[in-house]
Each structure stands twice: as structure tokens, then as C-alpha cells.
Structure 1
Amino acid sequence: MTRRITNGRGVLIAVVAVVLAALVVLALTLGGGRDPGTAQPPPAQPVAVVPTPEAQSQDAVAALPKSEPVSLDIPKIGAHSSLIPLGLNPDNTVEVPPVTTPLQAGWYTYAPTPGEIGPAVVLGHVDGNHQKGIFFRLKELAAGDRVSIGRKDGTTAVFEVTKVHQVPKKDFEGEGVYDDTAGPELRLITCGGVFDRNAHNYVDNIVVYARLVQA
């Protein structure tokens, strides 16, 4: 009796071993020999990063050293002017050229000079003294148009327009016109929109954004 029980257990163990071995073989066959719970994903394939034309152009143009701007040239709108320095008014607003000479543009001396890293700023009137101003047609500019700034060191900084915004003057602070930039940029600013006769001023500003593309 004892021997039969012992022999029966031996047979059972042998059968179980055979079954387990068969299951292991089957699992290895179906699973490719990999544990699905610990298998690592295939390594990612390297992706070639191709810079956009804007990035390529920006990266290709090095910033210029500081040098005062002396002239402005915007062929598309026929705007040509010397540049006078502009500072701050007593109320900390930015100065503008004299309204009696509306064809005169000026550059903001507390900003970078055109070609340096950061946003250089040039201001001009849309009109004044019963005449059209230097920036009368500024709102006609569009992405891709060129603006040239002659500099005192004899170089010319050429900028390409990226966008044109018409901004209510009450919202101008939030427009980020004077915010730092990674590369050399330019801002052209004038008045626009409806003329408020009570305030004797326009209600909006036209702001042209441009980046250095040639020096």
C-alpha cells in the first residue's frame, strides 16, 4: 500500500514536470523568449532637426557692437530720414520727434542700438503740422519687408519685418515692445487708429516688429 502511494506520487511529479516543461517551451515560442513585464522598448531612432528658414537666418547673423544709428531707409513706403536721439519726458514716457518736423524720425537712446542684441526702437509721426509724417504709411508694412538702419560706425543693419500690430494705447504696456529678445531686433512705432479730437491724439499705436538679417 505504501509503495503504491509512493509510486503514484512519483508518476504525478513526473507528469507535472513534463507539463511545466511543455508550458515553458510554449511560452518561449510565443513570447520570443522575452518577459513582457520587463521588456524594454526598442531604442528611439535619431530624428534630424532641420531649422526653419527664420531660425537659420537668425542664427547666421551675428549681433553688432554698439553704434549710434544715423539714418533710416524703408523702400516699400518711401520712408527716408536721419535719426535724432530721443530720451524720456519728465513723466517717464518716451520722447518723440518734434511734431513741427513730422518727417523726422528718432531713436530711443535707452534701448539697444540697432544691431545689438535686444529691441532697438525708432519712433516717428504719422502726421503733424498739417503734413504727412515719416511713418504715415507704416501700417502698410508686412512680414518680409526690409528696413535699413545706417550706423555711425559705417555699417548698415538690415532688418526683416516679422509682424505689424495695431495696439490701443491703453494696452501698449502689455504689448511687450521693450521686452528683452534673444537676438538683435527692431521696433518701429507711430500713432494710428481713430483720431481723438478731445485728446488731440490718436487712440492706437502701430508697432512694427523686425529682426536683423544682414549686417
Structure 2
Amino acid sequence: MRFSSFLLLVLAAITIPTIEGVRTQPTPLAPNTAGIVEEPEDAPTFLIGDPVFEEKLPDPLDNPSRLIIPSIKLDTNVQEVGITSNGEMDVPNGNTNNVGWYRYGTIPGDLGSAVMDAHVYAAFAKLRYVKVDDDIYVVNAKGEKLHFRVIDSRVYALDELPLQQIFNDQDGRHLNFITCARKFIRSLNTYSHRLVVYTELVD
């Protein structure tokens, strides 16, 4: 794991389109377009503080390069993202069909919680349709394919995101996905909720 600690400050503002993704309790995520206005091109994600690095850096060939979610017909490239100047998790730039992997966190397949995000109006447009037990695959730079399975899907209000659970759960080998949901709030330049899909590595 590359990132050993977080300042769990949150303003969570991931710019992701209302996609078809998995939703479980506390609030099932159903398409809700009422009151949604056109979102900005790049909305911030989360305030998570400064990254803390371990002495030994991991092999870059272990980094994810491709994400495949068969149930929603998603097969796309993975782009490394870091932290913006405002201390927020960044989102993919350039090709909005890419998925962003938080490079200061866990590598998919390692102990801990790897995190990926994407724009809700692009790569993660259908994330809300993902269901528990759906299979997800990550291909790393070595060409190795890792198999994950969805274990939960939840929608959280912006101020109720469980950052510790999303970014720093050490009880297993997890890969979590996050994107925007519900209503866009123009005054805050972000959405009112976040969809989080939790997965774990299949042995």
C-alpha cells in the first residue's frame, strides 16, 4: 500500500455523470434528474489531505491499466490521478471515458482499499446498474487480470461519506468505485450525493 494515512477531510465533489451503477442501502440509487443542471467540465472529488509515502515504492508494472465491468459493458483504460491543488482527489482529464485510479493509495490486489473514480456523464454513466455479485476485472501493466466481485453499493449524502471505509479499509483486498449522484448543486459546484460501489478480490 502506497498511502499510509489520510486527513479525512471531505468536501467530496467527484464529477461523475448519473450513470447506471449499483445502489444498495442506505438509499437505493434511482435515476433522479429533477433539478439537475448541466455540470461543470471538471468538478473536484474529495479533500483527503497530503499523501504519505512508504520508503519502498511498488513496482509500476503492478499499476492498473484497464478496467472491465461486463454487466454494464464497460471496458476502458485506467489513468493515474492524484490530488488537486485544493487537496481533492482528482478525476481523469483529457479522455473522459477513462477511469481514474488514486495513485497515492492502494494498488488493486494489494491489502487495503484501492479507489477509482470517473465522470458520471462518461465512463461511470451506468455504474448505478452494477449489482452485488457482479464480476469486475482489472488488468495491470504486466497484463495480469485480477478478479473482483461486488459486495455492496451505497449512496451517501455529501457530508456523510465514510472516507475511512472507502479509502483505508485494511480488512481485505478491496477495490472501490465512486462517482457523483443525484442533484447537481450549482452553488457548491458539485453533486448532492455520491455513489460508492464496494468490491473485494476473488481468491
TM-score band (shorter)? 0.5 to 0.7
In structure 2, the CA distance between the partners of 1:200 and 1:134, relative to structure 1 (3 Å rule), is same
Local SS of the residue matching 1:116: coil
Gaps of 5+ in 2: 1-57
Matches within 5 A, 1:152-163: 152-163=141-152
**Matched residue SS, 2:166:** coil
More helix by share: 1
Match for residue 80 of structure 1? Answer: 75
Residue 96 (structure 2) pairs with residue 102 (structure 1): yes
* Aligned equivalents of 2:73, 2:164: Cα separation in 1: 27
Q: Which residue of 2 aligns with 1:16?
A: none
Matched residue, 2:86: 91
Name the SS of the counterpart of 1:139 in structure 2.
Answer: helix
Gaps of 5+ in 1: 1-64, 128-132
Structure 2 length-normalised TM: 0.66
Aligned length: 144
TM norm structure 1 = 0.62
Larger radius of gyration: 1
- Distance in 2, Cα, partners of 1:212 & 1:184: 6
1:184-212: CA deviation from partner (whole Å, max 9, x where unpaired): 11001111111223334211111000000
Q: Which residue of 2 aligns with 1:119?
A: 113
Distance 1:185 1:169, change over 3 A: same
- Matched residue type, 2:104: Y
**Matches of 1:174 and 1:84, distance apart in 2:** 21
Give the Cα–Cα distance (whole angstroms) in 2 for the partners of residues 190 and 101 of structure 1: 16
User: 1:106 Cα shift?
Assistant: 1.2
AA aligned to 1:177 is I
- Residue 89 of structure 1, CA deviation: 1.1
State the match for 1:195 in structure 2. Answer: 184
Q: 1:73 to 1:103 in 2, by over 3 A?
A: same
The amino acid across from 1:93 in the alignment is E
3-state SS in 1 of match to 2:128: helix
3-state SS of the aligned residue for 2:161? helix
Name the SS for the 1:142 alignment partner: coil
- Report the secondary structure of 2:92's partner residue: coil
On the 8 A contact 1:80/1:134 being kept in 2, the answer is no
Q: 1:83 to 1:174 in 2, by over 3 A?
A: closer
User: Paired residue for 1:166?
Assistant: 155
One-letter code aligned to 1:94: M
Q: Secondary structure at the match of 1:126?
A: coil
Instruction: Kindly indicate whether the alpha-carbon contact (under 8 Å) linking 1:159 and 1:210 is maintained by their aligned counterparts in 2.
Output: yes
RMSD of aligned alpha carbons: 1.7
How is 1:30-41 mapped onto 2 (pairs within 5 angstroms)?
none
What residue number does 1:4 align with? none
